[in-house]
A = this chain, B = another copy of it.
């Protein structure tokens, strides 16, 4: 998507030196647009774990590129297979909830194993990393194509009033390679001339909503309003939300949806106020082995300090301020699970389905048991 009028992906191989991965270091948005050069596996695991890159799709794609960097290192230093397998273990440990991570790693390991020489393996790793990224872009584009119909249908009844879409966290292009998942239908609607307005839930404690979503919507020119996470219920109760679209870090094949902490509360409010609640996700986020999301999806617990601090910009400096007593305990749960009965539908690259086994398998029969 556009940044100051120029097209960017979130991650790419450096044009002048394809042994280097370049990525947008998202920690400094919206106040600074920083491009990081990642040259080693170690730098990539840091970038994922410390959230220079984040978001379901982008984590997977970054892991794909991380495996390519690992293959480059292995070709140089020897013990190829051992190094590459250890790289996968290290990358997998960075973020436990997102399923795209294991999916991308499995795809890389499987492909790399097909090479006969180190050079061949490196070439395969590079091609696979690029393919994972390109697939991500195409899948998100198709999510936009399918989701657009939902917005068109509401717009046709709205008599010119903007369609109010509420989202949570950043499931935007910054969370993928391009387009985004939850934002793809929004960008498609905006680009097709439909009036659309987005309620951006700020998403404490890391503020991916107010920092990333607001920034990318702003760069693309989509009207939006930042709100406290707590405000979603009131807006729905008073008719200010037509549609909710969120992303997902992992969705079970039965339709339970893990997404950023707070998604479940929004789904409950949508149900109570009869507002359609959609989850946009490429099928790479579907866990084809997991039945019960509430019981089985591991929920990442991040550092308690994130809750007791807020970070932002002060006189051009990026700083962290204390917002709680030093001696108070804090708990920092990264995700929650929205049970399938609260989900109106899933918007995937192959179309929209209901959040249940039958409907999901009808779109993805190759995964049916």
Contact = CB atoms under 8 A, between A and B. Distances in A.
A210 B328 contact: yes
A328 B262 contact: no
Nearest to A306: B228
A234 interface: yes
A313 to B, nearest CB: 4
A329 interface: yes
A278 to B, nearest CB: 19
A349 interface: no
Given A229-B204, A333-B231, A210 B269 contact: no
Contacts of A313: 321-323
A242 to B, nearest CB: 16
Given A310-B310, A319-B314, A30 B324 contact: yes
Tell me what chain A mostly uses at the interface: helix, strand, loop, or mixed.
Answer: mixed
A228 B260 CA distance: 12
A333 to B, nearest CB: 5
Q: Give this chain's copy count.
A: 2
Question: Considering the complex of A and B, which 4 residue pairs feature the smallest CB-CB distances, nearest first?
Answer: A230-B262, A312-B321, A310-B310, A234-B336
B261 A268 contact: no
A312 B307 contact: no
A337 interface: yes
Contact of A229 (B262, B308, B335): B262
Contacts of A231: 261-262, 331, 333, 336
Interface in A245-269: 260-262, 264-266, 268-269
Nearest to A332: B228
B322 A227 contact: no
Interface string A229-240: 111111101000
Given A265-B265, A269-B265, A218 B327 contact: yes
Interface in A281-328: 294, 299, 307-314, 319-325, 327-328
A321 B319 contact: yes
B226 A307 contact: yes
Interface in A63-95: none
A272 interface: yes
Given A211-B323, A226-B307, 4 more contacts: A207-B323, A227-B330, A229-B229, A311-B323
15 contacts: A205-B228, A210-B328, A211-B324, A214-B325, A226-B324, A233-B336, A234-B337, A235-B333, A237-B294, A264-B269, A265-B269, A310-B323, A311-B323, A312-B323, A314-B319
